[in-house]
Amino acid sequence: MKKILYLILLLPFFSLQSCVEDEKDIFDASAAERIAAAMKEYRATLAAAENGWLLAYYPEKNHSIGGYNMMAKFTAEGNVTLSSEVATRNYEAGDTLTSQYDIISDMGPVLTFNTYNEILHHFTEPNGS
């Protein structure tokens, strides 16, 4: 009997929840608009670097065995020219090779290389160094 009495006394408290749908926007734009603006900004930042970018590849997590350097020069049209300090099967150290890149949306902007580039993919092949 006490349980029923307590339940009847608590029933009004359960019905006092708010139904107001007046939430204020936290951001000025939608998530899709913000990610599109970020992708545009990142593409412009990549292309604006006059001397290009240094890509440092470390094959070991703690950087204890050294790393390899690659230079990348991006264009606004989606091309990237790469050179490396490591010789590959068809290219000497310092040679350049152009391929394509893009910035895609995947839980945030992601830089992706769309076409094969022997200089970039040298370490991903089974016959790499």
Q: Look up the domain containing 108 and give its range.
A: 50-129
Look at residue 26 and tell me if it is in a domain.
Answer: no
Q: Which tens digits make up the pLDDT trace of 4-13?
A: 777 777 767 6
- Using DSSP's 3-state secondary structure scheme, residue 37 falls into helix
- Cα separation of 69 and 52, whole Å? 13
Q: What is the pLDDT of residues 58-77, one digit of tens each?
A: 888 888 888 888 999 999 99
Specify if 16 maps to a domain: no
Structure tokens at 11: 């029933």
Q: Does 45 map to a domain?
A: no
In a domain, 59, yes or no: yes
Q: What is the DSSP string of 57-71?
A: E-SSTT-TT--EEEE
The tally of domains found in the chain comes to 1
Is the confidence at residue 126, as pLDDT, over 80? no
Residue 90 lies in a domain: yes
pTM: 0.69
